[in-house]
């Protein structure tokens, strides 16, 4: 990337200030670290996506015929672990958050630039363990590591996978810590909390979860490894242990982790919707409160993953009730995005298409969550494809849409170049169609009763599985397209000016790409966030 010359970008910026591999690997510039993360997680995204395609190909026929049963189990395990821990969790915070938060609050960098670089190295070390796990034959625990299967009954690289995720977790903790301190201490004069862009609020809420939740995951995975190596019996009923204890510990992190994977996406969508409606986000204060509420309540609902696991009736009642409470702030967000468009001036650029897609798919994902939180109904649909469809609507339909939409929105800022707009729209449409074709049939499969993680299945489920596999190939094309034209645009794209969208926000008030320290002089903020009402040139529809 450093080797690519940037004709036309004459001003000194973070990309052309220094060249050479050393200047990247030893950088403490948050923008360069964001790009290091971008490359790393894109790599893992395509690995995880490749596994997903193999899963879908296997499920084309009811019989297990493409790969062995053990191989299939490894595929869905590695798909889940790679996608959750090495793509979704770092996606928006470590790439877009890293790049944008300091600029959005008018700071020169994050509070701890070297810790920021350290977090990337830790991520890479964890990633190497993950690759080692994959290359030496993988693990087949499922991404959830349920005991006692993971501790006593499998002969695969479970410890290596646990170590990989354990290590990567520290990178997540450090990023969260850095964001929290940065938002508290580094805001430019006049950038009060009530003037922060919602993207910053969303990442701040995410950071709280990362810092408070991830250590519990680390402890849990350490216990799994110890249990495997030394057979302490913590989760082993034969030694007085309890396998459900593992599930409580695991979901205590992994349910809030769902919010790590969606809150930053909500932040991205708030920015995009405001910009392309040319309006202040409707109900700013409620939007900010909602993300904090989700982060807090998100810690209190973990056992809704365990309604049929053998927890007590009354525990189940409490966790179901709390799960409905956490649905309220999510509903608030959807209503406010929609209301933001009211009487706006809406343009259908690529990022806005992704935002439309996000709102639609997140709504469906969220509403099907109501089905799963209903105790009596969850008994039937949990551990079936209904759950698979539900969380892919949130994580892929929601988070991945938001992430790719955000990449398009800030691409001019990141690269100094415009991406080709018509290709962008085509890819957005392809992804939307491919996604729905892949995952909508899975809701029906789930209610029919097809369990998840099945290598072979009963023939009556085939038609819906074929539809899903067909969708996944369309989705794959949709994901490859942006990668191709983003790379193309770095050399051939139209040179972007400081603010090609006419957007509000400090990141649009500095050069594209920004100079190393973001601003030539520290800005002083005298306006509210999303001040689209104040005179600003509306760009001509392209």
Partner 1 sequence: MFANLPLWPDRASNMAGNVDALFIFLLILCGLMCVAIFIMILVFAAKYRRRKGVEAEQIEGSTALELTWSGVPLLIFMGIFAWGAIIYFQERTPPQDSAEIYTVAKQWMWKFQHMEGQREINELHVPVGRDVKMIMTSQDVIHSFYVPAFRIKQDVLPGRYTVAWFRATKAGTYHLFCAEYCGTSHSGMIGSVVVMEPALYEQWLSGGPAAPLPQAGKQLFMSLGCSTCHRLDTQGRGPNLANLYNHPVLLEDGRTIIADDNYIGESILNPAAKLVSGFKPIMPTFQGIISEEQLNALVAYIKSLSQPTEGEAGSRNTPAASPSGQPQTMQVQ
**Distance (Å, whole) CA 241 – CA 233:** 5
Question: Exposed (0-12), middle (13-18) or buried (19+): which is 244, by Cβ within 10 Å?
Answer: middle
**Distance (Å, whole) CA 468 – CA 470:** 5
CA Rg, the chain, in Å?
23
**Distance (Å, whole) CA 232 – CA 251:** 22
> 44, 86 in Cβ contact below 8 A?
yes
Give the number of C-alpha atoms closer than 13 A to the C-alpha of residue 465, restricted to the C-beta side: 24
Among candidate residues 298, 251, 257, the one with its CA nearest the CA of residue 147? 251
| Residues found in the chain | 542
* Shortest Cβ 438–partner 1 spacing (Å): 17
Nearer residue to partner 1 within complex by CB, 20 or 376: 376
CA 6 to chain CA centroid, nearest Å: 30
Nearer residue to partner 1 within complex by CB, 84 or 122: 84
**182 is written with which tokens?**
């940065």
Nearer residue to partner 1 within complex by CB, 353 or 396: 353
Phi/psi zone of residue 461: left (φ > 0), alpha (ψ -120 to 50 degrees), beta? Answer: alpha
Q: What are phi and psi of 377, to 5 degrees?
A: -85, -35
CA distances for 281 relative to 377, 493, 539, angstroms: 36, 30, 20
* Shortest Cβ 156–partner 1 spacing (Å): 10
Nearer residue to partner 1 within complex by CB, 112 or 447: 447
Nearer residue to partner 1 within complex by CB, 367 or 495: 367
**Distance (Å, whole) CA 118 – CA 338:** 40
* Shortest Cβ 160–partner 1 spacing (Å): 18
Nearer residue to partner 1 within complex by CB, 33 or 198: 198
**Distance (Å, whole) CA 83 – CA 182:** 27
* Shortest Cβ 63–partner 1 spacing (Å): 10
* Shortest Cβ 485–partner 1 spacing (Å): 24
* Shortest Cβ 413–partner 1 spacing (Å): 22
Nearer residue to partner 1 within complex by CB, 16 or 462: 462
* Shortest Cβ 151–partner 1 spacing (Å): 10
Nearer residue to partner 1 within complex by CB, 60 or 309: 309
* Shortest Cβ 541–partner 1 spacing (Å): 6
């Amino acid at each position: 990337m450093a080797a690519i010359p940037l004709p036309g970008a004459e001003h000194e910026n973070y990309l052309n200030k220094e060249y050479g591999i050393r200047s990247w690997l030893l950088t403490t510039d948050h923008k360069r670290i964001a790009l290091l993360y971008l490359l790393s997680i894109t790599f893992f995204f395509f690995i995880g996506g490749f596994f997903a395609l193999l899963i879908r190909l296997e499920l084309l026929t009811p019989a297990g015929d493409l790969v062995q049963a053990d191989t299939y189990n490894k595929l869905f395990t590695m798909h889940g672990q790679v996608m959750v821990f090495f793509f979704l969790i770092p996606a928006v915070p470590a790439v877009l958050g890293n790049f944008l938060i300091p600029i959005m609050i008018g700071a020169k960098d994050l509070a701890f630039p070297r810790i920021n670089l350290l977090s990337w190295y830790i991520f890479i070390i964890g990633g190497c363990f993950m690759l080692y796990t994959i290359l030496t034959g993988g693990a087949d625990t499922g991404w959830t590591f349920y005991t006692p299967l993971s501790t006593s009954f499998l002969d695969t690289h479970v410890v290596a996978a646990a170590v990989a995720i354990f290590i990567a977790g520290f990178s997540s903790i450090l990023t969260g810590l850095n964001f929290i301190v940065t938002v508290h201490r580094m805001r430019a004069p006049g950038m009060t909390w009530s003037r922060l862009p919602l993207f910053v609020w969303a990442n701040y809420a995410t950071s709280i979860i990362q810092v408070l939740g991830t250590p519990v995951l680390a402890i849990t995975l350490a216990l799994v490894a110890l249990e495997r190596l030394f057979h302490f019996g913590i989760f082993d009923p034969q030694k007085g242990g309890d396998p459900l204890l593992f599930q409580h510990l695991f979901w205590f992190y992994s349910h809030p982790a769902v919010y790590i994977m969606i809150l930053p996406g909500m932040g991205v969508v708030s920015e995009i919707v405001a910009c392309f409606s040319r309006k202040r986000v409707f109900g700013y204060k409620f939007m900010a409160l909602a993300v904090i509420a989700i982060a807090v309540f998100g810690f209190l609902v973990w056992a809704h993953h365990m309604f049929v696991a053998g927890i007590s009736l009354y525990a189940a009642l409490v966790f179901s009730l709390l799960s409905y409470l956490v649905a309220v702030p999510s509903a608030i967000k959807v209503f406010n995005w929609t209301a933001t468009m009211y009487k706006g001036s809406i343009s259908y650029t690529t990022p806005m298409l992704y935002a439309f897609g996000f709102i639609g798919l997140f709504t469906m994902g969220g509403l099907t969550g109501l089905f799963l939180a209903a105790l009596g109904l969850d008994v039937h649909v949990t551990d079936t494809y209904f759950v698979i469809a539900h969380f892919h609507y949130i994580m892929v339909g929601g988070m991945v849409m938001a992430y790719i939409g955000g990449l398009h929105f800030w691409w001019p800022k990141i690269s100094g170049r415009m991406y080709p707009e018509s290709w962008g729209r085509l890819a957005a449409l392809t992804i939307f169609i491919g996604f729905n074709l892949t995952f909508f049939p899975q809701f029906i499969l789930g209610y029919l009763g097809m369990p998840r993680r099945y290598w072979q299945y009963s023939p009556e489920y085939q038609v819906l599985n074929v539809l899903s596999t067909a969708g996944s190939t369309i989705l794959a094309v949709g994901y490859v397209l942006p990668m191709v034209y983003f790379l193309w645009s770095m050399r051939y794209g139209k040179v972007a000016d400081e603010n090609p969208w006419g957007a509000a926000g400090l990141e649009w008030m500095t050069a594209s790409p920004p100079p190393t320290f973001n601003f030539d002089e520290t800005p002083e903020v005298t306006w509210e966030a999303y001040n689209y009402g104040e005179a600003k040139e509306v760009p001509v529809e392209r």
